[in-house]
Amino acid sequence: MARLNLLLLLAVLASALYLVHTQYESRRLYVELEKASAQSHKIATENERLQVEKRAQATPLKIESLAQERLQMRTATPAITQYVHYRAAAAASAPKAAHE
């Protein structure tokens, strides 16, 4: 009978220690989950802010003003337009006409 009581006492102590360990792990994992959730929320907020900033920077008026200020670009007019003519097609067809 004493051996059975001792065996039951050891089983109760082992289960109590296991329960304490399980609760500790559960709390630790919950804290990690909360930290990850907070970080996810922070990243989502930052992403939203960057998307709004990107949309604000991508307006045609903003792009045109940046091109004029930073790149010294100007609007194309016929007076400053240079046309490039590709003469290789004309030169390639000339020998065919000579052979015929």
- Return the pLDDT at 96: 56
Note down the domain range covering 82.
2-99
What's the structural domain count of the chain?
1
Alpha-carbon distance of 100 to 97, in angstroms, equals 5
- Return the pLDDT at 95: 59
- Return the pLDDT at 44: 98
One digit per residue, pLDDT tens: the chain, 100 residues?
A: 899 999 999 999 999 999 999 999 999 999 999 999 999 999 999 999 999 999 988 888 888 888 889 898 888 888 888 888 887 766 666 555 445 4
